[in-house]
Amino acid sequence: MPRRPNTWFAIAALVASGGAAIAQTGKPEPRSPDGRRYLSQPLVTDIYTADPSAHVFDGKLYVYPSHDVDAGIPDDDLGNQYAMHDYRVLSMDRVGGPVTEHPVAIDVKDIPWASKQTWAPDAAYKDGTYFLYMPARDKAGVFRIGVATSKSPTGPFKAEAEPIRGSFSIDPAVFTDADGRSYMYWGGIWGGQLQRWASGRYDPKGGDTDLKQDDRPALMPKVARLSADMKQFAEAPRDVVITDAAGKPLLGGDHDRRFFEASWTFKRGGKYYFTYSTGDTHFLNYAIGSTPYGPFRYTGHFLSPVQGWTSHHSIVEFKGKWWLFYHDTQLSNKNHLRSVKVTELSFDPDGTIRPIDPFKD
Ligand code: FUB
C-alpha cells in the first residue's frame, strides 16, 4: 500500500498559526456549510476515518480509527448508516508530519463471530503482542466486543473465535495503569444498545434511546479489568459512575452532561480522567476520579460540537505535549463519512482541561 503524506494537512499545519484566509495551496481555506473556518484539517483525505484511538508504541504515534464507508443506508437513530466492515491503521512520527495509511488490518469476514458494523476500535500492547479491540454486531444483531492480535501495531490482526465473554454494547477503550493492570471502558446508548442491558440481560424490547427516566440516574458506561492475557474480562463489569459536584450520579434527563458513548480514560498528575461523548447534545465531556473505577466527578465540556452528529476522540501524551484526536464531517458533510483530525490539548494548573472550539471563528 503506498504511503500517502497528506499535503493539505502538512501545509495547513505550517500556516495554522495565523488567521490566513488563503492557505499556501492557493485554494481558499475550507469553511463549514455555515461559513466557519475549521481549527484543524483531516489527517487523511482519500479514505474516511472516525473514532480515533491514538497510542504511542515504540516512540511512534498510531491511530486506530473506524473506517467509514458509504453503504447507501439512510440516517436513523440506531446508526444503521454506520456500516463499516474493516479497519485501517494510521501512523506518524510526529504530529503535523506525513501520515501513513496502512493496509486493511482486519475485515469483518475474518472475525468469526461478527456479522457487520465494525464500529469504534481501540488497541493495546503487552509482552510483544498488539491487541485490537473491536465492537461489531454478532450473527444475531447484538453488539459484542471482540479482540484480535498481531505482532505488528498495524496488523494484520487475527481475531479470536468468540467475542469477549460477557461483553456487550460498543466503543471499547483500554487504559493501562502504571502498575501494568489494564481496564476496558465501554458502552453506548441508542444504536449502541446499552439501554437494552439495563437489567443485566439483553432485552430486545429494551428500547432504542435513553431509558426515559429523566429524574433517575442515567445509564452509566462500564468498566472491567482485563485478564493477564488481555483477551477476557478478569471480573464482572461494573458501572463507571459519573457524578455531579455533590457526588450524586448524573440524571438521565441531563443530556448536556450524561454519558452517551465514546469512553476514553487517561491519567495525568495522579488523577484519572474519564472522557466521553454526550451524543445527542454533541459535547465531549470529562470527569475526574482518583481510581480507575471512579466514581468520576463531572468537570466540564472540553470540545464543543463538531460538524456532524457524532463526536468521538482520544487523548494521548506524545513528545511532551497532549493531543486530542477527534473527527468531523468536513470532507463529506454526511454524518457517516467522517475524517480524523488532531489538535493540541492543554491543561490549567488545577488539572482542568482548557476547552476547545473545533472552529476558528
Ligand atoms: O462510528 C460508529 C459510532 O459512531 C461509534 O461507535 C460511536 O462512538 C460514534 O462515533
Q: Per-residue DSSP letters for 281-347? A: G--EEEEEESSTT--EEEEEEEE---SSS----EEEEETTEEEEEEEE-TTT-BTTB-EEEEEEE-B
Residue 312 Cβ contacting ligand 1 at under 6 Å: yes
In angstroms, the CA 169 to CA 163 distance is 12
Contact 280, 301 (CB under 8 A): no
Distance of CA 25 to the CA centre of its chain: 31
Residue 261 Cβ contacting ligand 1 at under 6 Å: yes
Cell numbers for 98:
506525513
CA dihedral (127, 133, 139, 143) positive or negative:
positive
Q: Per-residue DSSP letters for 121-178? A: -EEEEETTEEEEEEEEEETTS-EEEEEEEESSTT---EE-SSPPTT--SS--EEEE-T
What angle (nearest 5°) sits at the alpha carbon of residue 78, between those of residues 73 and 84?
A: 50
195-224 pLDDT, tens digit per residue, is: 999 999 999 999 999 988 999 999 999 999
162 is catalytic: no
Contact 195, 310 (CB under 8 A): no
In angstroms, the CA 159 to CA 236 distance is 23
How confident is the model at residue 8, as a pLDDT? 41
Query: Catalytic: which of 51, 101, 138, 254?
Result: 51
283-307 pLDDT, tens digit per residue, is: 999 999 999 999 999 999 999 999 9
Sequence-separated (6 or more) residues with CB below 8 Å from residue 34:
none
Q: Domains in the chain, please, with CATH?
A: 8-345 (2.115.10.20)
In angstroms, the CA 147 to CA 230 distance is 9
pTM given for the model: 0.93
How confident is the model at residue 11, as a pLDDT? 42
Residue of the CA atom closest to atom 4 of ligand 1: 310
Sequence-separated (6 or more) residues with CB below 8 Å from residue 17:
none
Residue 87 Cβ contacting ligand 1 at under 6 Å: no
Q: Which residues of the chain have pLDDT under 70?
A: 1-25
Cell numbers for 49:
476515518
How confident is the model at residue 361, as a pLDDT? 78
How confident is the model at residue 4, as a pLDDT? 38
Contact 211, 194 (CB under 8 A): no
How confident is the model at residue 27, as a pLDDT? 83
